[in-house]
Amino acid sequence: MSTMKVLLAAGAVTLVGAAGASAATLDDVKAKGFVQCGVSTGVPGFSFTDDAGNWQGFDPAVCQAVAAAVFGDSSKVKYTPTTGKTRFTALASGEIDMLARNTTWTLSRDADLGFTFLGVNYYDGQGFMAPNALGVGSAKDLDGASVCIQTGTTTELNLADFFRLNNMSYEPVPIETQEEAITNYQAGRCDVYTTDASGLAAARSSFDNPKDHVILPEIISKEPLGPLVREGDEVWGDVVRWSLNALILAEEYGVTSENVDDMAANSANPEVLRLLGTEGSMGEMLGLDNKWGYNIVKQVGNYGEVFEKYIGANTPVGLERGLNAQYKDGGIIYAPPAR
Ligand SMILES: N[C@@H](CCC(=O)N[C@@H](CS)C(=O)NCC(=O)O)C(=O)O
């Protein structure tokens, strides 16, 4: 490690220690009355502002689930838009309480940057999009291509690995936000755009003529995307982890925003009764009201409802469940039990 890196690392630790107030994030959040949640600056379906200026989408839904769990009110969230580059400083410095923004769980982010990932809300992988007019059928045909690429991402690193592995060269066109990527790509300033395949589908859904663009068949990486918090605050980490798990468990057991009242009163499944707070004290164990799980499902919906509402097959983004189906349906979405 160079002296500079040691100094930077030491600085980061001091920063986290000072701002993180260690094990007190849940208390801080309760005291201020809202969750400060980092999201992306905008990806169709995943993170966007509606006509009233409110943040919505597949990722903000995780923030809303946490607010429903903590306050019984999913609207108690303030949002901080972050880019690939700014997101980790925002979290480490204490500016945000959690990050819910298509962020890949990797070893170095976990161990070196000092964060804790709480699960996966979307299993993804990196792909390439090209205009049909370029006449490219495979990522292996991209030798010499110029590539729009977001800085501070795993995308950047995977791209370098992939081209190196295949003895090909490329010219990076670095950009910071998805919006910039789309503008540059559509203006022909890069031949191809590479990012998480979900991001490609989202970008393409915003084009005037989506069918003029092809997503190439190769998926060159694993990108498990999920929420994260600062390392060292297990109590707060548990709240975010189990809020995500509650969304997933509710779908597994067929509990929806529509039937949750009936399920809470009449379900024959003891796990459903525990999750919804009719029986047991799961909420209390988390430092929350026992109705935490009920409030999540009632106000935000279950995982499948959130998926279909924002990014599913019947939305412009049009994603199939694929790996993100429940394990019982052939996917790998799986939450540990509420017991
Ligand atoms: N999953 C990758 C890439 C995440 C990423 O930055 N994705 C882009 C494209 S989907 C994005 O979120 N853009 C929106 C923005 O920059 O605000 C990572 O964690 O590094």
Report the DSSP pairing between strands 171-175 and 146-150: parallel
Q: Give the three-class secondary structure for 147.
A: strand
Q: Name the closest-CA residue to atom 12, ligand 1.
A: 40
d(CA 63, CA 77): 7
Distance 144 CA to ligand 1 centre (A): 24
Q: What is the pLDDT of residues 70-98, one digit of tens each?
A: 999 999 999 999 999 999 999 999 999 99
Beta-strand relationship, 77-82 and 35-40:
parallel
Atom of ligand 1 nearest to the CA of 84: 6
Q: Whose CA is nearest to atom 15 of ligand 1?
A: 177
* Ligand 1 centroid distance, CA of 153 (Å): 7
Ligand 1 pocket test, pick from 85, 154, 196 with the greatest ligand atom count within 8 Å of Cβ, gives: 196
Cβ 199 under 6 angstroms from ligand 1: yes
Q: Is the CB of 195 under 6 A from ligand 1?
A: yes
Distance CA 322, CA 152 (A): 27
Structure confidence by residue, pLDDT tens digits, 200-252? 999 999 999 999 999 999 999 999 999 999 999 999 999 999 999 999 999 99
CA of 165 to the centre of ligand 1 (A): 23
Distance CA 333, CA 329 (A): 9
CA distance 237 to 228: 8
Distance set, CA 155 to CA 34, 101, 145, 223 (Å): 32, 14, 16, 9
Choice from 40, 121, 122 to test ligand 1 binding pocket (greatest atom count within 8 A of CB): 40
Whole-prediction pTM value? 0.93
Q: Coil, strand, or helix at residue 124?
A: strand
Q: How many helices (H) and strands (E) does the chain have?
A: 14, 14
- In angstroms, what is the span from residue 292 Cα to ligand 1's centroid? 30
Q: Residue 28, class by beta-carbon neighbours within 10 Å (0-12 exposed, 13-18 middle, 19+ buried)? A: middle
CB of 295 within 6 A of ligand 1: the answer is: no
pLDDT digits (tens, 9 = 90+) for 30-59: 999 999 999 999 999 999 999 999 999 999
Residue 98's DSSP bridge partners are 37
Task: Return the CA Rg of the chain.
Answer: 21
CB 334 within 8 A of CB 326: yes
**Closest residue by CA, ligand 1 atom 11:** 178
Per-residue pLDDT tens digits for 91-143 = 999 999 999 999 999 999 999 999 999 999 999 999 999 999 999 999 999 99
Ligand 1 nearest atom to the CA of residue 81, by list position: 17
Among 47, 150, 180, 184, which residue has the most ligand 1 atoms within 8 Å of its CB, making it the best to mutate? Answer: 150
Q: What is the mean pLDDT of the chain?
A: 93
Ligand 1 mutation target, pool 96, 195, 200, most atoms within 8 A of CB:
195
Helices (H), the chain: 3-20, 25-32, 60-71, 87-92, 107-111, 154-165, 178-186, 197-205, 234-252, 260-266, 270-275, 282-285, 292-300, 303-310
